[in-house]
Amino acid sequence: MISIYRKRKHGPDSTWKFTTFQRVNFRKSDILSGLTEENVIGSGGSGKVYRVVVNDSNNFVAVKRIWNNRKLEQKLEKEFHAEVKKLGLIRHSNIVKLLCYSSWGCPGALLHARYLSQNKISGPIPEKLGNLACLTVLDLSENQLSGQIPLQLGLLKLTLLNLSSNHLTGRIPTQFENDAYASSFLNNPALCANKPSLNINSCNNSDHHKSSKFPSKYLPLIISLGAAALKSLVVAMISIYRKRKHGPDSTRKFTTFQRVNFRKSDILSGLTEENVIGSGGSGKVYRVVVNDSNNFVAVKRIWNNRKLEQKLEKEFHAEVKKLGSIRHSNIVKLLCCMSNENSKLLVYEYSKNHSLDQWLHRNNGASSTSSSVQHIVLDWPKRLQIAVRAAQGLYYMHHSCSPPIVHRDVKSSNILLDSDFNAKVADFGLAKMFKQGELATMSVVDSSFGYTAPEYAHTTRVNEKIDVYSFGVILLELTTGKEASYRDEHTSLAEWAWRYIKDDIPIVDALDEEIKEPSYLDEMSSVFNLGINCTNTEPSKRPSMKEVVQILHKCNQPLVCGDWREDCCKFVRCFSPPQEFKAQ
């Protein structure tokens, strides 16, 4: 780790690996000094080609510099060197000779400065730390560091930064003003930021103006202290690293369940307020661009106000691993999980058309939501298709997983729609984690008012029938266009719909006027009836998700023999309403 720094200190070319395949009469410095723009003779997708004079003569070599915007993993780096070595052994008069190969990178591993906390290190943070491109972990917490945080640190691709409990002053670099660094700057009273969620003071113009004068006034002192502090850091890194060589890894644990084409740093850098597309009792959801393209992922940052006990931490990871193993076209894919003791990030595939509730109720508060959601009304065929596919996702969880997975938080905002309006169930399993780890308060239940089965709200008893109840509410939303908490927070849509059964009011009067066409009335009425049966107050009288899927498939079939609607209605009517709701 320290050898990397020392090599950099004594010159840039000292870190270059130099492998020859022929006898050469030039030095590394000859090659490096010739990599100037005036020597470029070609450029393409893989890199630039230079004509370089060597050995202080008129002898030239062609140097190809390959673009390397991201560091190769250690395994791939070894494969690359092996392949180049094989090419260097080729000898043929009609094949261009590969004379040598030079490379620069992070030998062996990325640099982790993780053992520098609680070492009474004083003075400012050296700006030259920003030159350590291989540095990914920097923990300088609980020291006596002072002065401003160098802007150069913002250029690093850090997966963990901890500068808490020091005497730092001024504004933090803007690159760190996102939720990934919410615990990085605690207990520094003189630090400030524009982002309230970082849990430090808010900056104002006067403070910023005052702090901007500080460096120029004390510049000579800062330079001398910086040099001394840098020397102290190097010595500390050598001694402490040797002592605690086998200490615990403080980086985020990165567990993938699918093949992913992004890095941890891509996710962390995207956790900014402008990327928030949703927020609730369990946490915030961000839309994050990955892989330097227009590809997006959805990142759920779970609130973690208290640290989990070791046993619960293991249960959390076991539960996430189980959820990550699920493969179904109507269930949102969990791509990976990133976690440390301060926060947990679940990375999902991104659904372009957002959630069902935004289309049904125009609840598109997120700025990134497509404007089309505000104006286009989902017609009945599309709504029926969404009902069928969402039901298939829940059916898989209840009847194809062993043991069965109970969602516990089925609602229209957890039914996501891809670019083809294919419905996918999201956020399954999270409610169970919150209960075990006490990561959330009753706000999780409050946010689901209107969807919660009576027995779950009163006794917290859990089985598949609580999901059936919630899905029945979604069916009522699809057929009536009304929200689950109809009229006010004390009257649910299910209670309102059941009055049509109790008072023997024609069901047609309850259907959504915007899409109620004569050709759709039978289908809509059948699905409304199914929603009524799913929301029966007696769990034993609710259908299973297998039966729900069978009914919806019948309703979704084209008219062939003329008796399918009768079969569908018979199936629906076989679940009779409770006695208290029957017409008098």
Return the structure tokens found at 408.
């516990």
Residues 423 and 563 in one domain: yes
The confidence score (pLDDT) of residue 384 equals: 95
Q: State whether 268 and 238 are in the same domain.
A: no
Question: Angle at Cα 578 formed by Cα 576 and Cα 580, nearest 5°?
Answer: 140
Q: Which residues contact 355 (CB under 8 A, 6 or more apart)?
A: 278, 412, 413, 414, 415, 416, 417, 426
The reply to whether 371 falls in a domain is yes
Q: Which domain holds residue 62?
A: 17-103
Phi/psi for 288 (5° steps) reads -120, 130
Residue with tokens 């803007």: 174
Task: Provide the CATH number for the domain around residue 22.
Answer: 3.30.200.20
The burial class, CB within 10 Å (0-12 / 13-18 / 19+), for 375 is exposed
Amino acid making up residue 94? N
CATH of the domain at 233: 3.80.10
> What would the two tokens of residue 478 be?
């699809």
493 and 356 both lie in a single domain: yes
DSSP secondary structure letter of residue 355: B
Instruction: Tell me: do 180 and 262 sit in the same domain.
Output: no
3-class SS of residue 310: helix
12 domain residue, yes or no:
no
Separation CA 513–CA 108 (nearest Å): 67
Same domain, 220 and 273: no
Among 103, 121, 148, the domain-final residue is: 103
> Domain count of the chain?
3
In this structure, are 236 and 321 located in the same domain?
no
One-letter identity of residue 119: N
Asked whether residue 338 falls in the same domain as residue 400, the answer is yes
User: How high is the mean pLDDT in each 10-residue block of the chain (584 residues)?
Assistant: 36 58 77 80 75 76 70 57 76 75 56 67 86 77 91 80 90 84 86 79 58 52 67 60 43 79 85 85 83 82 61 74 88 88 85 92 51 69 95 94 88 92 85 47 52 82 91 96 76 91 91 92 94 94 95 68 40 40 34
To which residue do tokens 């009273």 refer? 189
| Residue ranges of E strands in 95-141 | 100-103, 111-113, 122-123, 135-139
Please give the pLDDT value at position 393: 95
- Cα 482 to Cα 98, 157, 356, 513: the distances in Å are 71, 47, 12, 11
- Active-site residue list: 409
307 is in an annotated binding site: no
Task: Judge contact between 288 and 277, C-beta under 8 A.
Answer: no
Q: Given this model, what pLDDT does residue 17 score? A: 66
Give strand pairing partners of 190. 169
171 and 267 both lie in a single domain: no
User: Where is the domain boundary, 243, 278, 310?
Assistant: 243
**Domain boundary residue, one of 176, 210, 243:** 243
Check which CATH number belongs to the domain holding 574 and give it: 1.10.510.10
Tell me: do 225 and 289 sit in the same domain.
no
Question: What is the C-alpha separation between 92 and 87, in angstroms, rounded?
Answer: 11
Q: Are strands 122-123 and 100-103 parallel, antiparallel or unpaired?
A: unpaired
**E-only strand ranges, 410-564:** 415-417, 423-425
User: Would you say residue 10 lies in a domain?
Assistant: no
Q: Is residue 154 part of a domain?
A: yes
- 195 and 261 part of one domain: no
Run of H or E residues at 258: none
Q: Which two tokens stand for residue 185?
A: 């700057």
Output the pLDDT for position 33. 76
572, 555 Cβ separation under 8 angstroms? no
On whether both 99 and 117 belong to a single domain, the answer is no
Does the N-terminal peptide bond of residue 248 adopt cis geometry, omega within 30 degrees of 0? no
**Same structural domain for residues 323 and 359?**
yes
pTM of the model: 0.59
